[in-house]
Structure 1
Amino acid sequence: MSENSKKNYPLRIHADILDAMKRWSDDELRSLNAQIEYVLRDALRRANRLKEQEPRAIITDKQTDE
């Protein structure tokens, strides 16, 4: 599966958890879906369950002057 591909998954969730996630997503200016994905990804990283992505190359001013 490519890094940017997404799959649909029906999620059953307690109303109180969904309400809390919605408030949190509003505070962070994210969509509810993006917030849920952010929280899941963070939890997976902390548990060493998610392979880290390759760091993206950073172009500095010095490199662009060459």
Structure 2
Amino acid sequence: MAKEKTKPFVLRLDSATMAAVEKWAADEFRSTNGQLQWIVNEALRKARRLPKHKNGGNGELSNTTNDEKNDNI
């Protein structure tokens, strides 16, 4: 993930969910926190809920990622 300012918060998960996230994180060679950040970011991206950002510095606004562009090929 990009090195941006993050906001800490407490998240409560049941033990089975936490164990599943920890295993998934280990399988992907990520920290548990990094995995949770990735899961949230992916869900927001797929739901098109991420804020628009500048694309490549050309002044165009877009919330389409390279993955979405490649999906359309």
* Percentage identity across paired residues of the two chains: 31
1:6-42 C-alpha deviation (Å, 9 max, x unpaired): 1110111111110000000000000000000001000
Q: 4+ residue stretches of structure 1 with deviation over 6 A? A: none
Highest RCO, 1 vs 2 (Cα 8 Å, sep ≥ 6) = 2
With the length of structure 2 as denominator, give the TM-score of the two structures.
Answer: 0.66
Higher strand share: 2
With the length of structure 1 as denominator, give the TM-score of the two structures.
Answer: 0.73
RMSD of aligned C-alpha atoms? Answer: 1.9
Q: What 5-or-longer segments of structure 1 have no aligned partner?
A: 58-66
Give the AA of the match of 2:47: A
- Aligned length in residues: 55
Pick the structure with greater CA Rg: 1
1:40 and 2:40 aligned: yes
Q: What 5-or-longer segments of structure 2 have no aligned partner?
A: 58-73
